[in-house]
């Protein structure tokens, strides 16, 4: 039976690589993003290279009705989505009180609300069929407060917590949820979030390597997946032992641009 995956934010970065991996394994796809040209190009690549069926759905996930529109479209097409990959997300740099509130609200809508809505809509069918996997792309930022990226870090904390809680609820139904928590990744996210110049990018990993980790751990049903063992150790053991104010200063230092 061919697995059909819906991937948000599939026009680049980790989302594009996750779509490629699924296609390489012979799975059909629904690709979701705002850029029709990029999605159509990826559709052509995957269909020609792997003989899979790819459907493009152009949607702005910052709109409140985005998840419902996507769900209704796949239902109307008779598609059974048994793999949901909530990859879409974005960040932004600067002091919270100085940033545009509309940008922060859009970030919450994409990173939290649309992710939650899509999970709710597709999870019901998975539970009824007793089969399904959900991969929510979170971040190592979810384990920390984030001065100069306050809302972004907080949205990812929600994603990691939400994913684990729902995973436990549906565990008896043979459905798994995985939170992928990568460190720095070389994608268009850096420029889009105005994050050039941060020291953290010196150790950034490729989008393909992160996607391979996430997809593999999703298949295993891992609750929280890290692409770097050193980060897993630091976040699980070292960070919780640090004094709170020292941790905040350390994170802020890492988020300050070096000129």
**What single DSSP character describes residue 144?**
S
* DSSP 3-state of 112: helix
* Catalytic pick among 41, 156, 220, 232: 156
**How far is the C-alpha of 80 from the C-alpha of 125, rounded, in Å?**
8
**How far is the C-alpha of 158 from the C-alpha of 138, rounded, in Å?**
9
28 CB neighbour count, 10 Å cutoff: 22
Residue with tokens 């420029």: 191
Q: Is 152 a catalytic residue?
A: yes
Tokens standing for residue 107:
């970030």
26 CB neighbour count, 10 Å cutoff: 11
Angle at 51 between CA 208 and CA 81, to 5 degrees: 70
Q: Is 158 a catalytic residue?
A: no
Tokens standing for residue 89:
């997300």
| Partners of 54 in beta bridges | 29
| Reduced DSSP (H G I as helix, E B as strand, rest coil) percent helix, strand, coil of the chain, to 5 | 55, 15, 30
| Partners of 177 in beta bridges | 134
CA-to-CA separations, 51 to 8, 182, 212, 213, 229, in angstroms, rounded = 21, 30, 21, 24, 35
Residue with tokens 């979030």: 193
Residue with tokens 């941790």: 247
* Catalytic pick among 43, 69, 122, 152: 152
Instruction: Kindly list the catalytic residues.
Output: 152, 156
């Amino acid at each position: 039976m061919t697995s059909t995956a819906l991937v948000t934010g599939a026009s680049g970065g980790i989302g594009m690589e996750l779509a490629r991996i699924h296609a390489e394994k012979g799975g059909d796809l629904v690709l979701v993003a705002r850029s029709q040209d990029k999605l159509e190009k990826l559709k052509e690549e995957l269909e020609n290279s792997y003989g899979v069926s790819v459907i493009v759905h152009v949607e702005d996930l910052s709109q409140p009705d985005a998840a419902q529109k996507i769900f209704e479209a796949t239902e109307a097409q008779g598609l059974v989505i048994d793999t949901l990959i909530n990859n879409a997300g974005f960040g932004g740099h600067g002091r919270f009180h100085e940033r545009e509130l509309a940008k922060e609200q859009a970030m919450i809508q994409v990173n939290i609300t649309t992710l939650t809505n899509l999970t709710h809509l597709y999870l019901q069918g998975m539970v009824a069929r007793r089969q399904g996997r959900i991969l929510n792309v979170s971040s190592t930022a979810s384990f920390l407060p984030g001065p100069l990226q306050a809302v972004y870090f907080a949205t990812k904390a929600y994603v990691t917590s939400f994913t684990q809680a729902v995973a436990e609820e549906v565990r008896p139904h043979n459905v798994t949820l995985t939170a992928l928590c990568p460190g720095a990744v070389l994608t268009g996210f850096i420029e889009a979030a105005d994050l050039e110049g941060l020291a953290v990018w010196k150790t950034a990993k490729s989008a393909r390597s992160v996607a391979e980790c996430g997809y593999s751990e999703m298949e295993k049903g891992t609750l929280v997946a890290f692409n770097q063992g050193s980060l897993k150790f630091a976040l699980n053991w070292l960070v919780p032992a640090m004094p709170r104010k020292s941790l905040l200063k350390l994170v802020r230092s890492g988020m300050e641009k070096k000129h």
